[in-house]
Structure 1
Amino acid sequence: MRSIFASLIHKPAYEEHAKHLEKVFADPLFDRPTGIDDPARCALTYRRLKHINDNLGLSAPLLEDRERLFTLVEWAALADPSLFYGVFLHYCTTMGAIQDFGRGRDDLDDLIGAMVSMDTIGSLMMTEVGRGNSNANIRTQAVYDAERQEFVLRTPDAAAVKFPPGVSSPFPRTAVVSARLMAGGHDRGLFFFVVPIRDADGRPCDGVRIAPQRPTAILPLDCALVSFDDVRVPFRHWLRDGAALTADGEFTDPAGDALTRTRRLLSVIRHAWEAAVVGLSAVSRASAAVAVRHAHHRRTSGRHAADVPVITYRNQQRPLFGALAAAYVTGIVAATVAGPEQPVAGARTIRTTSLLKVTVDRLAERVTVRSRQAAGALGFFADNRYLDYQGLAHSFNTAAADNQMMLLDGALTLAAGVEYEPPAHAAPTRAERDAFTPGVWTALAATRERLLHQELTTALRTATEAGRSTLDMWNENNALAEALSEAHAFSLVLDTVCTALESVADPAAKAALTDLLALYAAEEIAAHDGWYLAHGLLDADEVRSFPHRVNELCERIAPNALELAEGLDVPYEVVGAPIAEADYVHALTAHTAVAYPDPQA
């Protein structure tokens, strides 16, 4: 059944790409270093990135080959979360911005070519230190100089300093910088500009001020604060996206107005969200698979039984099988996100991708924490990777846009009905209700989404009629707005999961997956059991029965747990966690200077 399970995670083309990457990642360059300082650790990340690029044989941006790109994204996350950041920033966000907003232009070929060959490493610079994670109120200015037909990029004050791009290591760097276009004395909205940051020798370019920041303990990155002191930017480096400026400063823009232009600019982050979903799924699947393996190999002598695998105990099964279920959910979602790109990145696509990023990130944190905790003290060993992977998941609470902000933005468009209709599913009756079967999962989730949408829109309408300000209106309903976005995301995930389940033809495999995914759905529904109880969608007997039903699921999952773990299709050689080995004791102690006798001799 392993191959059936794995088919939900990876497409057939994955094997070919993975075989190539296996050779690339086998280089000693990817051995995990010890005893090196932060600058050397960051420099190693970029040497790894360059080594990968040199072995890809690229002739075009990797974003044009999504299957190959996302296989690399996955392996980079598993091998080195810091490397993952380099991969998605270079290939996805920086080159994605040039391709999206420079589409149809051949005068950018040299800039794209330098990035394809990695003669320069890309970075996206949007957020500013005085604006938190808001990308809408950017204050960096690109002032049009009509006489010289170029732009002057400047940081008007300390609050407009760009942060936290990873550009402090001395490598050739080129950034795509978001700035407010000032032309003809008017603010024309936000645009991207391609700006060299470090020259071929890795030195800061004229007018570019780079203030390195200390790498964080959980994720070593070469973050910096970057400002611009009248940096001259050639006209062709403006990613104008159909807009035009005449020599005398006359401006036209198909977007229509500055607000629409700003919203259009933010669409580029979808490439980061897609990469995040794939990378976070990879570390979720690795954490769960390693933890379930280890729990079968690790033996304990407890009060109730002597020398049994720890997975025998329900207090290991419940968190680990829940982690295994969540890991499958992230894998199924990632396989969908990594599919063919939508022809038009409309409001629905942007909202869906952003909410899936939030959901998968939260699941990744859950999975990595549970997996680490289940391993006991060994979970804190750096070689066993849990802390690396947990750090990556934690960083994406705010990386590629803040999760809470995306939930609130999503609720804003849901409440306004932007490419959205609330679900019309009828609430299941008591006679037909079993929260552990797929049809009922989706009906309960859809009903919660519909009722929360109704509650939020009613609250907003009432506040408007009472003359409340927009700030007060949303401030009072933030929690409700977040709940609606979370419910909508849960419905999206369940639809994706149920579609995947329907594609499984083998009865035994389908039954095993249904039990596992029922555990995921049950955990999510139980997290809001008070709400469901208050709305008559569950009764007290059903809520009280949840722990017993979960135990029944664990009992059915247990015989298939190892095979389900293998079905997550994790390349253990890239993960490199000793704890994943059957003889994990030998794997952990073989390098010690002491020779231990064989107890069987």
Structure 2
Amino acid sequence: MTRFAEKLPETESESSDARGDLVDLIFDGKFSSLHQDLRAALENPLFDQRPGLSTLEAGRLSYERARFLHEHLELGSELPHDQERMFAVSEWSCLVDITTLPVLNIHYNLCMGTILQHGAGRDDLGDYLDELRSMSSIGLLIATELGYGNNIAALETEAVYDHETGEFVLNTPNARAQKFMPNTGISDIPKLAVVLARLKVSGADRGVFPFIVRISDRNGLRPGVHVTRLPEKPGFALDNGVTRFDHVRIPRRNLLTGSAGRLTDAGEFRANVKNRRTQVLRALDRVTPGRICLSGALISAARASTYIAVRYAWQRLTAAPGRGEVPIISFRSQQSALFTSLARVYAMTFLLNHVKKEYLHRHGGDDTEVNQLVSIAKALSSWEMSEVLHVCRERCGAQGMFSINRIADYLPMAQGVVTAEGDNLPLLATVAGQMVAGRSGRVASAPQVPEPGDIRDGQFHLDLLRYREDSLRWETRQAMRKRSDERPSLASGWNDNMNAAVSMARTRGVQVALERFLDAADRARTEESRTALQLLACLYGLIEVERDSGWYLARNALTPEQVERLPREIDSLCEQILPHSLMLVDAFGVSPELLRAPIAADDYVSAVDQAVGHALTSVRPNAPAPRQPVEATAGHTGNGRSVRVEASTG
């Protein structure tokens, strides 16, 4: 029989400065001002786990929780004008209820944000905004149609202007035009939507614009609005539905044209933007900060998952040949899985911190590079964090399969983020195409192979990544030009080269992430935090170099000896990171009390026992006597102090 470790090893108080330093770097020095009250609000009993709820009941609870945060934190007056705060709300709201995240993000960012942006200066929209600010109505964005995914410019839902009545007639003309997946499935909650529809004036198609449409009130769906709830999505309680409109009349004031044009009193539409695609992209401008919100939420969930998995690995004992029983964190296989995940989480955290700054401090004009960076970060971080969640789930064994331990619930959120606000692959392909076609860039001729470097040197890792990005861009351009000379279609030429271009765009994201990671390590104030971050940044660089080591080897950017050394160097780094691992996850600002995940508790056996309602009051009769404690080889705290774990006969 195994007697489990009773609690996690304790860290010395001298590590508190290092932990505080990491908190400042992770939250960009704004934990107290932006995050602390959000974190505290989630400890309210309303967010306690509620096993056994139906999907519909869980969905209603998520709306209740969203309203609690709205009222408790007075978010309605600040969020529409404070995007940085909105990013923080996204990062915390998802941790104890993944469905609360989209409810809040859609309400504040996509609905209110669109109305404020495209209805700026209009006093006649004040009553709608008051409803949303008080959350007496929940805000929605209804855009995607059953027949059209990312191609918003092709939408078929139409809003025909009736000049005699001064109204628009909103209609779904065919099955393709049904709105797919808005959260309209719970119909007795008042909901006010921004609906994207094709504006038709005097028989002419004027392009796709946003319209304000009341979807439901406390009595149910409004006349002419029809909703069919979609099948359940495992782990996600958002009330998604297929929505169609049957000649719904809405006031003229509900058209949101912004600066794209205006409808005159004479019933004529005067457009200011000639390009229809540009017009649609302006209407969907709030999708860009939405991408940052969703990326931050998933990175936050990955931080919570590595926190849970690392703490559990320090306690969960397993047999070791000739050693009795040791924590599973003692094994290099467990370290490699969890610490490479930890390195990815830190890298994506620092990447997104950089993206937030670039987005918030943009100066208008041509924001192409910032928008590209946001899209790259969204695709890279959501793919990376999806993998991290799967690794953490598996490394927690059977315990990781249960919703009560959180990680399994984060997995469906990851799938949603990969798809939402622009599906990752077409999103990254679009950016890659822009990067290949763009005249700017540092590549005018074939890139030169970087000088040989130390395989553990972060600057060498950056040189390799820059070389790969530049090479893929140059090779793609050359291939596209060659195909153009042979006169194939543009689509065919792009199709033959898009995978290399997508790899180029991904590499760009990795490069920026590593740059920000190394910069954070340089800015660390304590020796302990700096050492931990340098080791972790080196590990991130090595796993990315190893990922494409065959490519580098084929181009003589790495030697065969260096490629052979990569796995050993990664193992060595994991061994060095082990003493810092608890400090690294403790800096994420979460706690067992916040997450309510039993396996993250200081004594997970008692926590699990209590969670299943079977707390033991006495030791089982005839239990074998425990042996003397034995020292685990890898058992060290964040300050290097040895840890002793107990093993028993069995």
Q: TM-score, normalised by structure 2?
A: 0.88
Which residue of 122, 126, 134 maps to 2:143? 126
**TM-superposed deviation, 1:117:** 0.6
Q: Is the 8 A contact 1:280 1:361 kept in 2?
A: yes
**Which residue of 2 is the match for residue 485 of structure 1?**
505
**TM-superposed deviation, 1:189:** 2.0
**Which residue of 1 is the match for residue 235 of structure 2?**
218
**Which residue of 2 is the match for residue 284 of structure 1?**
302
Query: Per-residue displacement from partner, 1:421-440 (whole Å, max 9, x unpaired)?
Result: 5599864212xx13432211
Q: Is the 8 A contact 1:423 1:446 kept in 2?
A: no
Distance in 1, matches of 2:616 and 2:529, equals: 45
**Which residue of 1 is the match for residue 529 of structure 2?**
509
Aligned-partner SS, 2:184: coil
The reply to whether residue 163 of structure 1 matches residue 180 of structure 2 is yes
Structure 1 residues without counterparts, runs of 5 or longer: none
Q: Superposed, which structure 2 residues align to 1:142-181 within 5 Å?
A: 142-169=159-186, 170-181=188-199
Distance in 2, matches of 1:422 and 1:45, equals: 50
User: Residues 419 and 81 of structure 1: is their aligned pair in 2 closer, same or farther, counting only changes over 3 Å?
Assistant: farther
Q: Is the 8 A contact 1:284 1:330 kept in 2?
A: no
**TM-superposed deviation, 1:6:** 1.2
Q: Is the 8 A contact 1:384 1:578 kept in 2?
A: yes
Distance in 2, matches of 1:333 and 1:537, equals: 25
Query: Per-residue displacement from partner, 1:91-131 (whole Å, max 9, x unpaired)?
Result: 12212212222233332222122111101101111111112
The reply to whether residue 97 of structure 1 matches residue 114 of structure 2 is yes
Residue type matched to 2:204 in 1?
A: H
**Which residue of 1 is the match for residue 12 of structure 2?**
none
**Which residue of 2 is the match for residue 31 of structure 1?**
48
**Which residue of 2 is the match for residue 577 of structure 1?**
597
**Which residue of 1 is the match for residue 64 of structure 2?**
47
Query: Per-residue displacement from partner, 1:401-450 (whole Å, max 9, x unpaired)?
Result: 100011111111111217655599864212xx134322112211111111
**Which residue of 2 is the match for residue 305 of structure 1?**
323
Q: Is the 8 A contact 1:133 1:398 kept in 2?
A: no
**Which residue of 2 is the match for residue 330 of structure 1?**
348
**Which residue of 1 is the match for residue 200 of structure 2?**
182
- The alignment-based identity, stated in percent, is 31
Aligned-partner SS, 1:307: strand
**Which residue of 1 is the match for residue 8 of structure 2?**
none
Residue type matched to 2:398 in 1?
A: A
Distance in 1, matches of 2:484 and 2:275, equals: 26
Which residue of 372, 387, 393 maps to 1:351? 372
Distance in 2, matches of 1:531 and 1:22, equals: 44
**Which residue of 2 is the match for residue 111 of structure 1?**
128
User: Residues 297 and 202 of structure 1: is their aligned pair in 2 closer, same or farther, counting only changes over 3 Å?
Assistant: farther
Distance in 1, matches of 2:108 and 2:469, equals: 36
Which residue of 511, 520, 542 maps to 1:500? 520
Bigger drift between 232-241 and 300-309 goes to: 300-309
Q: Superposed, which structure 2 residues align to 1:71-82 within 5 Å?
A: 71-82=88-99
Which residue of 452, 470, 486 maps to 1:466? 486
Which residue of 101, 104, 116 maps to 1:84? 101
User: Residues 419 and 152 of structure 1: is their aligned pair in 2 closer, same or farther, counting only changes over 3 Å?
Assistant: farther
Which residue of 242, 245, 258 maps to 2:263? 245
**TM-superposed deviation, 1:257:** 2.5
Residue type matched to 2:200 in 1?
A: M
Distance in 2, matches of 1:147 and 1:341, equals: 46
Higher-Rg structure is 2
Q: TM-score, normalised by structure 1?
A: 0.94
Q: Superposed, which structure 2 residues align to 1:418-497 within 5 Å?
A: 422=443, 427-430=449-452, 433-497=453-517
**Which residue of 2 is the match for residue 137 of structure 1?**
154
User: Residues 126 and 341 of structure 1: is their aligned pair in 2 closer, same or farther, counting only changes over 3 Å?
Assistant: farther
Query: Per-residue displacement from partner, 1:483-532 (whole Å, max 9, x unpaired)?
Result: 12212222222232233233224343222201112111211221111111
User: Residues 149 and 110 of structure 1: is their aligned pair in 2 closer, same or farther, counting only changes over 3 Å?
Assistant: same
The reply to whether residue 417 of structure 1 matches residue 438 of structure 2 is yes
**Which residue of 1 is the match for residue 409 of structure 2?**
388
Which residue of 345, 349, 365 maps to 2:386? 365
Distance in 2, matches of 1:411 and 1:593, equals: 55
The reply to whether residue 271 of structure 1 matches residue 289 of structure 2 is yes
Aligned-partner SS, 2:124: coil
Which residue of 524, 535, 544 maps to 1:524? 544
User: For the aligned residues, what is the CA RMSD?
Assistant: 2.2
Residue type matched to 2:335 in 1?
A: Q
Residue type matched to 2:603 in 1?
A: D
Distance in 2, matches of 1:157 and 1:527, equals: 47
Q: Is the 8 A contact 1:277 1:357 kept in 2?
A: yes
**Which residue of 2 is the match for residue 405 of structure 1?**
426
Tell me the number of residue pairs that the alignment of Structure 1 and Structure 2 aligns: 598
User: Residues 252 and 464 of structure 1: is their aligned pair in 2 closer, same or farther, counting only changes over 3 Å?
Assistant: farther
Query: Per-residue displacement from partner, 1:211-239 (whole Å, max 9, x unpaired)?
Result: 11122113222110011111222222111
**TM-superposed deviation, 1:153:** 1.5
**TM-superposed deviation, 1:195:** 1.0
Distance in 2, matches of 1:546 and 1:298, equals: 29
Query: Per-residue displacement from partner, 1:41-83 (whole Å, max 9, x unpaired)?
Result: 1111111111111212245251322343333212211011111
Residue type matched to 2:477 in 1?
A: T
Residue type matched to 1:396 in 2?
A: V
Bigger drift between 387-396 and 10-19 goes to: 10-19
**Which residue of 2 is the match for residue 342 of structure 1?**
362
**TM-superposed deviation, 1:145:** 2.2
Structure ranking higher on relative contact order (CA contacts 8 Å, 6+ apart): 2
Residue type matched to 2:423 in 1?
A: D
**Which residue of 2 is the match for residue 66 of structure 1?**
83
User: Residues 313 and 593 of structure 1: is their aligned pair in 2 closer, same or farther, counting only changes over 3 Å?
Assistant: closer
Structure 2 residues without counterparts, runs of 5 or longer: 1-17, 627-650
Residue type matched to 1:204 in 2?
A: L
Q: Is the 8 A contact 1:61 1:116 kept in 2?
A: no
The reply to whether residue 56 of structure 1 matches residue 73 of structure 2 is yes
Which residue of 272, 276, 280 maps to 1:262? 280
User: Residues 376 and 428 of structure 1: is their aligned pair in 2 closer, same or farther, counting only changes over 3 Å?
Assistant: same
Query: Per-residue displacement from partner, 1:271-298 (whole Å, max 9, x unpaired)?
Result: 2101112101110100011111111111
**Which residue of 1 is the match for residue 647 of structure 2?**
none
Query: Per-residue displacement from partner, 1:518-570 (whole Å, max 9, x unpaired)?
Result: 11121122111111112221121111110111111112111111111112222
Bigger drift between 359-368 and 263-272 goes to: 263-272
Aligned-partner SS, 2:200: strand
Distance in 1, matches of 2:361 and 2:223, equals: 38
